[in-house]
Every structure is written in C-alpha cells, then in structure tokens.
Amino acid sequence: MKISSRLQNYISQALSQSMEVKLMERLAARVIGGYDLYERTGFPANIPIPQGDAARQITSDLVRSGNIHRFAELLVEVDRTGVMGRPVSIRLLPQIVKELEVLGYRFKEDQGIFIEAGALGKTKGWGVLIEGQTYELSFLRIDTVGNTELVRKYSRRLVVQVYNEVRRLFTGIVEKRDGRLWQWEGDGGIAAFSYGNKNVQPVLSGMEMLLELFMYNRFQCPFSKPLQVRLAVHTGPCPFYEKFERIRSDTLRRLEVVESEFAENDSLVITPGVYSDMGNKLNSFFESLRVSRHNLLYQYKLRWE
C-alpha cells in the first residue's frame, strides 16, 4: 500500500496536536505489538521526547509496518469513545479519512474500519495484507459435486459456462460481505474473510450461495439434474501470498478435509471455532454433526415443508 506524504503529514499533526506523547505511544502499541517509543527514537529514557518528534516517529513506523489505516481506525474510535473514559478529540480526522479515500479505501461506519473500496480493483489482500505475514482469517470453500460425471455427460462448452456462472454468483455473494476470492479452480474455490465479523460473513455467504444455487437450478441450469455443491467454513491462522499456490496452511488443509469428508451434498458445514461466534439467531440454523468421539461440526441445509 502506497501512503501519500500528505496522509503521513496529517497523521503526524493529528497526533502532536491532539494528545500527549504517552497516549500516542499507547495507541501505537495497540497497532504494533510491544511498541517502545524510546527504543525507536533512540532518546535516553530520562529525557522527555518532544511531541513533534514522537508523532513523526510513530507515523513513519506505522507506514513501515503497513498499519497506517488500522491506526486511522483507532483514531476514529478514540475520537468517538475517548480513552479510559476520558474524551479525546482528534484533530484533522476528516482530512485523514478523506486522504485514505483518495488512496482507494472507504470507511465502513458500522464496523469502524477502512476497507478497499474496489473502485481501483479488488485485491486478494484488501490492499492491506502484507505478503508473507500470517493473519487470523476465515475461509469459505465451495466444491461442485460430481464434476467428473458432469464433464463426461455434457459438452465442455456447457460445463465451462455453468461453472463460470457459479463462480460469478459465488464471487458476488462473497465480495458483498467484504470477502475475497483467493482461488478458483474450475469447479470450486476458496474465499477469505478478514474484516467485520469474519466468522459470520462466510457463513452467511455460504447460506446465501445454497439458496441462490437453488434458484439457479430452477431457472437457469441447463443440466438435466440440479447442480449440487458442498460448502465449508473454517477459521484460523494463514499466511498471505498473492499467489495461492505458495500458501501452506493447516487451516486450509483442515477446511478441505471438512468440506470433502463431512459436508453432505447441498449443505454448509462449519467448524466449532466458527460456530461459537455465530450468536443465538444464526446458531439456530445449524444442527450438530458428530464426526468422531470428540469432534463436532455444524451443518446447515435447506429443507422444505
């Protein structure tokens, strides 16, 4: 992510004009773990750091760590709710937000986060993730049932047409909830979610995909039998690489096992870590599946009266 010098300037000024050095350091530490301003600036511990120097140092460290937009989110939060019950008014906040929007981000008011607006294209890492770093992410995997038979039974042109339509549907549903398609391989793919409620979003996307596919089968699918899919959601740490083939992740391996071994046709299966974040309303859509003595999964399936 390229950060304009104007944005750096605004953040630096906002810090120096809105708070003391101690608070600046504390806020920086919430974005960059273990942040020590004295260590970064090289000032001796017994000499107070001037506000301007502190603000400039923090800003440049934030830019280097690729966390400037996260820090901007934090500034918005501090401006709204204060710190430890004390109100803190952040100066130049509108200019900071506007400058981030110029850089291709939009501020999601409800979630208080900046996210890639998409006008300049959508990237797999939301324009934020850094190549090679590991993040806590949630994933939704979709796979078409009986791909081999479909390829044998129908012409290549028809199969490709249907898979493209499924991909278009899937991508639309995922991106609507700020997810990103990380991989698509013919008859299925994987989408990643990082923002908002990152466990709820892929689950809702999976449920919507099942419903949309139901409609697609009724009205558009040219196959003689309905197209069936299996879906699974899992969450966990995963390194980020633009090239999906470079990613080695136990989370993605587990996701594949859950989808291929435990998901029934036309169902969505989620793992316990995801289920625990669903809340009462969404929980009620899932029934538990005992897959071994100690392991449970949760399944959603559309049924009719």
- Among the candidate windows 57-65, 128-136, 142-150, 283-291, which touches other proteins by CB under 8 A? 283-291
* Residue 207 binds other proteins, judged by CB under 8 A: yes
**Where is 72: in which H helix or E strand?**
helix 68-81
Query: Which residue's CB is nearer to other proteins, number 188 or number 206?
Result: 206
Half-sphere exposure of residue 18: CA atoms within 13 angstroms, side-chain side? 25
**Residue 102 touching other proteins (CB under 8 A):** no
CA distance 193 to 125: 10
Q: How many residues sit in the footprint of other proteins (CB under 8 A)?
A: 28
Which is closer to other proteins, CB of 48 or CB of 223?
A: 223
| Interface with other proteins, residue 262, by CB under 8 A | no
Q: Residue 104 — φ and ψ, nearest 5°? A: 100, 20
CA angle 175, 181, 185 (to 5 degrees): 140
Give me the least distance between CB of 251 and other proteins, in Å please.
Answer: 25
Question: Rounded to an integer, what distance in angstroms lies between the CA atom of residue 110 and that of residue 302?
Answer: 30
Q: Say how far apart CA 49 and CA 57 lie, in whole Å.
A: 10
Work out how close the CB of 268 gets to other proteins at its nearest, in angstroms, rounded to a whole number.
11
Residue closer to other proteins, measured from CB, 53 or 212: 212
Taking CB under 8 A as the criterion, the residue among 83, 120, 130, 215 binding other proteins is 215
221 forms part of the interface with other proteins (CB under 8 A): yes
Give least dist CB 215 to other proteins, A: 7
C-alpha–C-alpha distance, residues 227 and 60, integer Å = 52
**Beta-carbon count within 10 A of 146 CB:** 14
Residues forming contacts to other proteins in the complex (CB under 8 A) are 155, 158, 204, 207-208, 211, 214-215, 218-224, 280-287, 300, 302-305
